[in-house]
Amino acid sequence: MKSSVSLLMALLSTSALATEAPKLYKSIGADFNAQVTVVPAQQADHYLLQFNGFEHDIDGQTRLYVKKLNSSNIEDGYHYLLAGSNKVNFRNNTKYTLQNGNHIPTVQVYLKDKPMTNMVYSGAADISTPQKLLEKYQVRQGLTESKIAAKKQIKQAQSQFSTTCNTSLTIDIVWGSFEKINEKTTPGMLSNYLNSLAQLCELDKDYKAEIQSIEKLIAIPSTKTTVNSVSKDDNKLVISLAKNAPNVTESSYTALIDVL
């Protein structure tokens, strides 16, 4: 399972975990019991966050975030920015709540179409949590354990795309180029792009018509180690894939909207 081990080493390290334990936060004052798990990643100020119990489509999802200060003054708090975007779901605004006569620091979670949720720190997460979250993140990224698994995953996504969009296209993956840079499972990310195309077909008839005009999808390695890109040339889509590009579920959708 080389790809899993490689990504694990890329995102997490024992030195990072030794200095900052994974944290759990629980909701307060809400009519649901929600929890956020925060796990430090190897790269400075990067964290994996998982949201649960919010009665929202974010539940169960694990995403990569970048920690940013709210201002130049560290005492003004911080927020987690979804890597590769300008979205903020988790913010520490240096506010407090009164519990049993004590002022307890709170953090705030912001989700689309939901009121803001106040949360408090509830303790350290289990020692096995970092690897579990990483595995969930890998699955969400479309990164598989083998080339065979990647091909199967792409085939399934292509079938769903064809059904939803009522069309078919040819997929050309330059496997040799990916294998040359030891990224033979990176094309598995392509399943996210096929899923996003299917979502756009359901969203709008104009998008569907544009997508139906596409005859070929080409996947090549990205020239940048952490950035995927999409370009359109007549009836072809060219998707450049990088193993360490963050949050491909979200970025594939926005990139396709921009190019279609």
**Closest to 3 (Cα-Cα) out of 200, 165, 135:** 135
**What's residue 147's pLDDT?**
96
d(CA 102, CA 37): 24
Which of 117, 134, 151 is a domain's end point?
Answer: 134
Which of 100, 134, 168 is a domain's end point?
Answer: 134
If asked whether residues 6 and 67 sit together in one domain, one would say yes
If asked whether residues 69 and 161 sit together in one domain, one would say no
If asked whether residues 33 and 125 sit together in one domain, one would say yes
If asked whether residues 73 and 124 sit together in one domain, one would say yes
CA 91 to chain centre: 18
What's the chain's average pLDDT?
92
Residues pairing with 217 in the sheet: 171, 237
Give residue 128's domain range: 2-134
If asked whether residues 19 and 66 sit together in one domain, one would say yes
* Tens of pLDDT, residues 158-189: 999 999 999 999 999 999 999 999 999 999 99
**Closest to 50 (Cα-Cα) out of 59, 41, 229:** 59
If asked whether residues 85 and 179 sit together in one domain, one would say no
**What's residue 108's pLDDT?**
98
If asked whether residues 23 and 39 sit together in one domain, one would say yes
If asked whether residues 130 and 152 sit together in one domain, one would say no
If asked whether residues 17 and 129 sit together in one domain, one would say yes
**What's residue 20's pLDDT?**
84
Which of 80, 111, 134 is a domain's end point?
Answer: 134
Q: Where residue 55 sits, what CATH number does that domain have?
A: 2.40.128
- Say what the pTM is: 0.89
| Mean pLDDT across 225-250 | 96
If asked whether residues 128 and 15 sit together in one domain, one would say yes
Angle at 186 between CA 184 and CA 187, to 5 degrees: 90
How does DSSP classify residue 227?
Answer: -
Q: Number of structural domains, the chain?
A: 2
Reported confidence tier of residue 15, pLDDT bands at 50, 70, 90: very low
If asked whether residues 180 and 65 sit together in one domain, one would say no
Nearby residues of 253 by Cβ (< 8 Å), 6 or more positions away: 196, 199, 200
If asked whether residues 113 and 14 sit together in one domain, one would say yes
